[in-house]
Structure 1
Amino acid sequence: NSIRALVDEDPRKSKSAITQLSNILRNSLQVDKQRLVLLQDEMATVEDYLSLESIRYEERLNVEFEISKRTHKVKIPPLMIQTLVENGIKHGISRLKAGGTISVMARIEGDFLVVQIRNSGVYLNNKPSKLRGYGLDNTRKRIKLIYGDQARFAIKNETENTVLTELVLPKGY
């Protein structure tokens, strides 16, 4: 809908948005059969997704990245970070009248890739199951299936208005 609204308002920007949407759809089809993808490829999808969301939220969405070059070739489950970023926008920023910030950080610590996603908002982990989505549960299951007990996943309120989602994955997969 955001793209459709842009067609008359800003045709050049709408073409760019269509390209980004095409990239996301192409990537999701390609990675559907892959067990793991390079972090740099996952981040390209995340950037396209956030560019599209920036159309929708305009000045209400601030995006920050801090991705160490050492992480680019580490393999991770496809669409995992994108799902967590989408979760932060859907359950955090979209509910805030003034909007907020989503930041994605990735670094290497020893033999592990550490990915931290911070978003404005509050994590309500006691919501009734019918109000929760499947993203977090699927993330936990995928991590357990691929990495067993070698990985960690956590989501918590870091401050009273910032949610921290953290993935710690072994980098040797």
Structure 2
Amino acid sequence: MLTSLFAIWATVYALALTAFRLADADRDRLHLRATLAESRSRALEYQLNPHFLFNALNTVRALIRDEPEEARRAVTLLSGLLRRTLVAGRETTHALEDELALVETYLGLEALRFEDRLHVRLEVAADALEAEVPALLVQTLVENAVKHGVARNRAGGEIAVRADIQDGRLHLEVENPVAGGPEPEGTGTGLANARERLALLFGDAATLDLEVGPERAVATVTLPATDA
């Protein structure tokens, strides 16, 4: 009799424990989903800030009179950038190839503003293009590089984007020139947001480091290499 009662009690306890664990797991998933949504929203807000739009529209205005073809191209690039950014803002992750399409549109628009002050170098291994990355991650790093590097150097400089896969991990680098003087307002916001999203998605398996030297700064991201 006691044995039967103990068996029933143990079964009820095990079922209750499983139910609690499932409930905790559901709560964790909901919390993660909500946190990721908030983080994506902040990344989108960082990209579509008024200062960036002001610069883009100023570029269009400056081109309208003397270079109408370039002005139309600028409008096309801005429209494409807004569309791609809004689509990416609804995604958690996507292929690096899709992320780079967004980055190239952004840099094409910035090239009209900076002219020969902005140089771009892409070194991306073919097997890295299908790797899964957080949406707007590379875009955030590149915008940070333009804002804190090229824009603050009178002579401009080169933005280098590199990506390859090593030992089952995706390695990303965004390099930019270093400028002297005080940093503009908002320094570190984009990087902090990027680190938060990487931690939410990959935990300790992903890293984002920033190394600032006397002439160049390099933001390096590593994360597990999985196809999108």
- Cα distance between partner residues in 1 of 2:107 and 2:126: 20
Residue identity (%) = 36
Pairwise CA distance, 1:17:
1.7
- Segments of 5+ residues of structure 1 without an aligned counterpart are none
Query: Higher helix fraction: Structure 1 or Structure 2?
Result: 2
Equivalent residue in structure 1 for 2:164, among 68, 86, 107:
107
Spell out the pairing of 1:4-83 with structure 2 (5 A cutoff).
4-83=61-140
On the 8 A contact 1:123/1:156 being kept in 2, the answer is no
Equivalent residue for 2:193? 138
Equivalent residue for 1:2? 59
- Cα distance between partner residues in 2 of 1:43 and 1:148: 24
Equivalent residue for 1:119? 176
Q: For 1:128-148, what per-residue CA distance to the aligned partner results, in whole angstroms no more than 9, with x for missing partners?
A: xx6524101101100000000
Root mean square deviation, CA, Å: 2.1
On the 8 A contact 2:152/2:179 being kept in 1, the answer is no
- Cα distance between partner residues in 2 of 1:3 and 1:38: 31
Q: TM-score, normalised by structure 2?
A: 0.70
- Cα distance between partner residues in 2 of 1:19 and 1:160: 37
Matched, 1:89 2:152: no
Pairwise CA distance, 1:4:
2.0
Please say which structure displays the higher CA radius of gyration.
Answer: 2
- Cα distance between partner residues in 2 of 1:133 and 1:123: 16
- Segments of 5+ residues of structure 2 without an aligned counterpart are 1-57
- Cα distance between partner residues in 2 of 1:149 and 1:122: 32
Paired residue secondary structure (1:160): coil
Pairwise CA distance, 1:68:
1.0
Equivalent AA in structure 2 for residue 47 of structure 1? E
Equivalent residue in structure 1 for 2:217, among 154, 163, 168:
163
On the 8 A contact 2:128/2:164 being kept in 1, the answer is yes
- Cα distance between partner residues in 1 of 2:64 and 2:188: 32
Q: TM-score, normalised by structure 1?
A: 0.91
